[in-house]
Structure 1
Amino acid sequence: TYTTLDIQNLLAGGAGNPIGHLATPAASRAPGEDEILGRVTLKYEPTDRLTMTLKASYDRNSVNNSSWNYVAFRCGLGSGISQLSGYACDNDKFVTHQNNMPADIAANFPYAKKDGQLYNRYESYAINGNVNYELDNITISSVTNFNRNNNRWTCACDFQSSNNATWATENSTWRSFSQEVRALTSFDAPINLMVGALYQKTRRNFGQWVAFAGLRNSAASPENQFVATSKTSFTKGETTALFGQVTWKIVPTVELAGGVRYTHETKDSFFTQPYNNPGVTGIFRDQNDPDGLGVVNANQTFNNWSPEVTLTWKPSRELLVYGAFKTAYKSGGFSNGGINSKFSTNPLADLTFDPERARGFEAGIKSTLADNQLRLNLTAFTYKYLDLQVDFFNSPIFAFQTLTADAKTRGIEAEFEYAPRAVAGLNVHGSLNYTKATYTKFPLAPCYAGQTPAQGCAAISAIDSRQNLNGAPLSVAPRWTGNFGVAYDTDLSSTLKLGTNVDVRYSGSYLASGFNNPLSRQSKYATLDAGVRVGAWDDNWVIALIGKNLTNRLYVSGVVDGPSTGSGTGTAAGIPADQLGFANLPRTVQIQLTKRF
């Protein structure tokens, strides 16, 4: 298992021309978000049958650290002290430990800020055109869309300050064009139809550059002197889909709807590591590697049929009962940000992954009671996932991989909303959900870092160990969740109105790791949001004070093993890795002013 420290040890003797650097602390106020967005809509109705709408939108968002929410959630040693840098692992504190890229590295480093400050900048724009033409009993619709986005960042990619620091930059651009056409009938007859087709063309261009502290090649070009390894990749995609639905009103109160979607996809991808410091070519396979595996090309084709059927019974205006069989499909693809590892004999398999499919049943009741004052809904469901996509860093061969497993989720959800006429403006709402989500087939799941044979980790080769996760819970899958809230709106005068709200959200405990790591356990928690707003009676202007997570409760929505922590996986001497968690936002209070023109 190679770590950043191991890579640097391989450079001993000056093979990589090591040099010292000074790294300054990353911004303490994070994420420091700035965002500007805008949208323009044009609508043209030359006749009462034809409507044309054109929308254009732009968004630019930036934060001062792409990994600002990585917190030291749990220490692997159980001592409360990190294995890497000696700081405390606080599972209830909004604290990060990261450094900027040293300025001497950043000066000519691709897509780094010259002063080495960490950042993440996302920019996108989209143009969408809709055309609706209504005949006597048929509506024909066309949707045309063009979208482009660019994401670039600098991160402290060991996510914590250390002498063995790793930094990286990335620049990724995605663009797509799509055209959808559909026709919907509205005959005064028991049977009506919807048919449609979609064509989409996409391309993603990807580049990434990685630096290790103490590593330099003075003979390289200025932009590559401090680059340890770089990646260049792209994926071109083309999708064609045909879909249709038949609705049959069997009797006035019973309706049967059935449909199917056929999807055909092709993806052509390319990946190489064009520059590697001479000291790391034994780890990162160079594009000119003599073994001929330095350039990876993938040509993937996926086909899928996704049917669904729903039976609805509406005995009255206040009650609807339904049952449904549904399927879903998530495309396979290519990992543009993966690694072509010199330790892997099959980089094509490391970088490609299969589609994910789901199928199952749900049934429910939707009701409006108490003379339209109470809305009450109840849903039960069960779904099976085939080839569930699970991301994994295979440390023995130093490669990112997307594995597949089978899983099952089942549960019940209840929600209500009560707006009594006796108290005008009052709204009480809430929900309660029970879900059980487990792997049903994952016999060769990866072991978590430091897992021992006594904890279920078995060696399957000299360099690889696996565990059986059949029946184990999925990540971030609490059994119980719920929310409860109260909102109240009232008139202050003939021109002003006041609104208030209080909302509580609850989650039961869950494992944040996808590999059943007990150190990733997030305990149960509740968060509190509240707000007050004053505005014009017609909402022409509104000023609001909004508070979120007012109890300042930290929870994580996922974890990764701390780089260069943990060891001995699959042996009795295993030491668990530190757990770095993706934390939520702490307490936030904001003032929001809205003006409509």
Structure 2
Amino acid sequence: MKAHKHNLLAAAIALSLTAPAIAQDDSPALEEVMVTAQKRPQSLRDVPLSVNALGGEKIESAGITNIETMADYIPSFNMTQTGIGTNIAIRGISSGVNQGFEQSAAQFIDGIHYGRAQLSRAPFLDIERVEVLRGPQSIIFGKNSTAGAISITTAKPGDELEGKLSALYEPEHGEQDVRLILSGPISDTVGGRLAILQSSLDGYMENTTLDRDESGDKNRVIRATLQWQPSDLWDITLKMEDGSFDSNGRNIEVVKPVGGSYANALSFFTQGAYQLDTTHDWKRQSNGDYSYNDTENITLNIERELGEHTITSVTGYNAYTYQELCDCDFTGASGFNILSDEDYSQVSQELRIASPEDETISYLGGVFFQSSSLKFHDAVRVPTDSFIATAFSSLLGAQAANLLRGASTQRDFEQDTDLAAIFAQGTWNFTDLSRLIVGARYTQETKEASRHQYHVSNTGVTLPQGTTAQPYNLIWSQFKIDPHAVKGDRDESGFTPLITFQHDFWGTDMVYLSYTTGFKSGGFDVRANAAPNALDGIYPNIEGTWEFEEEKVRNFEAGAKLVLADGAAELNVAAFRSEFKDMQTSQFDGSLSFNVTNAGEAVVQGLEVDGRWAVIDNVMLRGGAAYIDFEYTDFPNSQCYFGQPASERNPTNPTVCDATGKRREFTPEIQGNMGIDYTLNFSNGLKLVNTLDVIYSTEYLTTPSLDPKFEQPSYTKINARIALSGNDDMWELALIGKNLTDESVVTYANGLPVATTVSSGTGYYAFYERPRNIALQGTIRF
């Protein structure tokens, strides 16, 4: 792989920060940030909850291309990719890896719920703003948002004809990104906006088996928006979008093999038994992975002024399909792979009514309906030359090994979900400075699901469930797989109240106290390889999972939003405590399965601070930090890591461990960022904008098994941007650097599948963040 080059950017930073500043007004004021965290346009200073907002300009200038790269700028917010899924976490709470989970940190785009984890990988394009709402959002954004919500608003047509073409090139990892935006009036009452994205990335991790860099990513998005305002009373917006995001390969390296026989095997199959890599000379061995994703979305938003009230209708259709191939032994040898297909679609309808805000009593309420369909299929396949099959020659004999070569075990899962809710939130302004906010949501949800696990012979014949005498059943039972067919249905309802007290000081500052509740619905385990023996199965010693229960949370929060330095600075502070019961988790069984379990109880508490300060007109300081204290207060059935001592195992079931009193993975105690924007305006009309961001995190565990052997050390990353523009910002040329400190950051790790099945040891695979990269970006506006 190429050596990293950063001297050019370092020199440019030094020159820009030492250039003489033009005299500015010494009494700057902050621009007001408007959000819709409560489904109304409001100043961020007036919203009584912990919210971080990033505007479209910051998203573009920082090179934020998706939710994952946005996490650097929002403390206590993280996104990680895993071997078979995606996790979004707010305040350390995420859903885990399973297609059956609703999302604890729910994503909404233009008011439409994007309730599946796979959609969080989609690229950003032409975004007006992103709001991250921390804590349960169970009234306005729906009952499943037990950790928080990510609300994304795309840009709308403007009143003037405009266009923008931007292109980015990063040579080290072969990144190219081209975006075109055209917007303006079509007639006196109709406006249109077209946004197109085409981007690609060669990758930064060398696959020595295939002699290529990975992962090779390609993204494409086409979005058309029409806005019709036939009169001052109507605002009708139709958005249609088609997109794809594809990857060839993964950012995974095998690390920390444990146990003599498996370490030796890894050394043979991977040309070296790797330890935690801090050199960025990342190498992996794989016979090929890919993830191909196609998405489509149609959103119709209708607003009608009715007297002093506003009626809003939001209708949405959202769908995606994907196919993924995981070379899940994570070696260049022929072991096994998993081919997955998923097809999801949903339709939703929301109707809201909102009263004027400036009354003694104001309110917002409505109804919500959503219907969705999920189909999932995967196959664990063993190639004919698999070393796993060879290993079975000594375990079960040559005949069994020959049967395993070319065979597969497969799973079909289907689920239909219908949801209906009614919600309301009212504000009583009982004095000019004080108000009480009360809200509630009642939800009714039904789910019907089925799962079928079956074996396919090496001649392609689908086999019946059979008995223990069936040879394929015996072979696959060594991997903790038990053929079965189960069905189920759930009908659950929930009531989630909210109460908030808010008080203003001096016309600028505000404090609030709130109590909120939330719950995330239960459901059915998509990925378990065995059913509970009470339902089905032929091997009593292989106990799987099927149905899991709802997750509940109570949240207490106190906060303040303060204006300082005569309006030149603001500071937001929030202290919180969240108490979870029956937390839904996904547990790796050490072989090929992820089983869902309700973890018991956990408490998350902490402090969040963020703010900004316009020091002078051309210098802006900003930053934020979060302190998180996470503790499982009752979790006796946690996944064990390899070699975990007997004293930490559950005495009644030594195959699971007691994690009570422990901290969850990906919950660093402190996360923070600090940035400076420094603008130089020259007399010839040119402008130089310099941005520097420092991102910090303390150490954290990276594996769901909480293995202390695999802890990510603390790190400090630096991102920077230098942009020269002219002719009233009609053109811009920018140099963008990310992770300039070249930190080695593991975002997810877990045990290698089947490691303990074929040997006496184990190993881990780890996802690594992108190392230092420097890109050139050009923009033309017309």
Q: Say whether the fold is shared (TM-score over 0.5).
A: yes
8 A contact 2:414–2:451 mirrored in 1: yes
Q: Give the Å deviation of 1:250.
A: 1.1
Instruction: Verify the 8 A CA contact 1:157 1:168 in the aligned structure 2.
Output: yes
> Which amino acid in 2 is paired with 1:58?
D
Asked if residue 193 in structure 1 is aligned to residue 386 in structure 2, the reply is no
Match of 2:649 among 438, 457, 470: 457
Q: Secondary structure at the match of 1:214?
A: coil
Q: Give the deviation of 1:349 after TM superposition.
A: 6.1
Shift of 1:99: 1.9
Q: 2:232 is matched by which residue type in structure 1?
A: D
Match of 2:503 in 1: 313
Query: Across the two proteins, how many residue pairs are aligned to each other?
Result: 534
Q: Distance in 2 between matches of 1:415 and 1:468?
A: 36
Counterpart mapping for 1:134-533 below 5 A: 134-162=305-333, 165-186=335-356, 189-214=359-384, 226-277=406-457, 280-282=472-474, 284=476, 294-340=484-530, 345=540, 350-395=545-590, 399-405=593-599, 406-421=601-616, 424-454=617-647, 456-458=648-650, 460=652, 464-492=654-682, 495-533=685-723
Please state if 1:75 is matched with 2:75.
no
User: Quick check: 1:41 aligned with 2:225?
Assistant: yes
Matches of 1:563 and 1:391 in 2, distance apart?
15
1:303 partner letter: S
Contact 1:344–1:399 (CA under 8 A) maintained in structure 2: no
Aligned-partner Cα distance in 1 for 2:544–2:710: 29
Distance 2:264 2:726 in 1: 54
Indicate whether 1:91 and 2:304 are aligned.
Answer: no
Q: Specify whether residues 541 and 126 from structure 1 end up closer, same or farther in structure 2 by C-alpha distance, changes over 3 A only.
A: farther
2:156 match: none
Contact map agreement 1:498 1:532 (CA 8 A) in 2: yes
**Alpha carbons 1:77, 1:83 under 8 Å: kept:** no
Percent identical residues: 28
CA contact 1:182–1:195 (8 Å) conserved in 2: yes
CA distance in structure 1 between the aligned counterparts of 2:543 and 2:490, rounded to whole angstroms: 11
Distance verdict in 2 for CA 1:58–1:545, change over 3 Å? farther
Task: State the 1:331 CA deviation.
Answer: 2.6
Counterpart contact for 1:132–1:140, Cα < 8 Å: yes
| Structure 2 equivalent of residue 7 of structure 1 | none
Residue deviations 1:494-535 (CA, integer Å, cap 9, x gap): 654321211111111111123331112111111111111233
Superposed CA offset, 1:564-592 (max 9, x none): 43589xxxxx9763232222122222233
Distance 1:429 1:133, change over 3 A: same
Cα 1:141–1:225 change in 2 (3 A) is farther
1: CA distance between counterparts of 2:449 and 2:508?
53
CA change 1:494–1:159 in 2 (3 A) is same
Alignment RMSD: 3.0
CA distance in 1, matches of 2:702, 2:655: 21
Q: Any conservation in 2 of the 1:363–1:379 contact (CA below 8 Å)?
A: yes
Decide whether aligned partners of structure 1 residues 35 and 205 sit closer, same or farther in structure 2, where only a CA change above 3 A counts: same
**Structure 2: how far apart are the matches of 1:252 and 1:80?**
70
TM-score, normalised via structure 2 length: 0.64
Equivalent position to 2:752, from 540, 553, 562: 562
Q: 1:212 to 1:188 in 2, by over 3 A?
A: closer
1:28 and 2:198 correspond: no
- Alpha-carbon distance change, 388 to 594 in structure 1, aligned in 2, over 3 angstroms: farther
Which structure shows the bigger proportion of residues in helix conformation?
2
Q: Which amino acid aligns with 2:215?
A: P
**CA distances 1:302-321 after superposition (whole Å, capped 9, x unpaired):** 22212111111112232111
Aligned to 1:593: 778
What SS does the aligned partner of 2:346 have? strand
SS of residue in 2 equivalent to 1:563: coil
Q: Counterparts of 1:281 and 1:26 in 2: how far apart (Å)?
A: 34
Q: CA deviation at 1:539?
A: 4.3
CA deviation after TM superposition for structure 1 residue 242, in Å: 1.0
Q: Which residue does 1:14 correspond to in 2? A: none
Contact 2:208/2:284, CA 8 A, preserved across alignment:
no
List alignment gaps of at least 5 residues for structure 2.
1-206, 390-403, 459-470, 532-536
Give the whole-Å Cα distance in 2 for the aligned partners of 1:567 and 1:35. Answer: 38
Q: Aligned equivalents of 1:88 and 1:338: distance in 2?
A: 30
Give, in angstroms, the shift of residue 417 of structure 1: 0.9
Compared CA separation, residues 536 and 182, structure 1 to 2 (3 A): farther
Deviation of 1:93 after TM superposition, in Å, equals 4.4
Task: Describe the superposition over 1:17-68 as per-residue Cα deviations: whole angstroms up to 9, x where unpaired.
Answer: xxxxxx9824531222111112111000111011100011122111111xx1
Distance 1:357 1:493, change over 3 A: farther
Whole-angstrom CA distance in 2 between matches of 1:345 and 1:302: 30
Q: Structure 1: which 5+ residue stretches go unaligned?
A: 1-22, 101-116, 218-223, 569-573
One of 128, 131, 153 as aligned partner of 2:299: 128
Higher relative contact order (CA 8 A, sep 6+): 2
Distance of 1:82 and 1:373 partners within structure 2: 62
Distance 1:547 1:78 in 2: 42
Q: Tell me by how many angstroms 1:346 deviates.
A: 10
Which residue in the other structure is 2:737 paired with? 547
SS in 2 for 1:371: helix
Amino acid at match of 2:491: T
Q: Which amino acid aligns with 1:426?
A: V
Look up the SS of the partner of 1:350 in the other structure: coil
- Taking structure 1 as the reference length, what is the TM-score of the superposition? 0.82
- Partners of 2:487 and 2:667 lie apart in 1 by 36
Provide Cα deviations, 1:392-432, integer angstroms capped at 9, x if missing partner. 12348x643111121111111222211123xx221111222
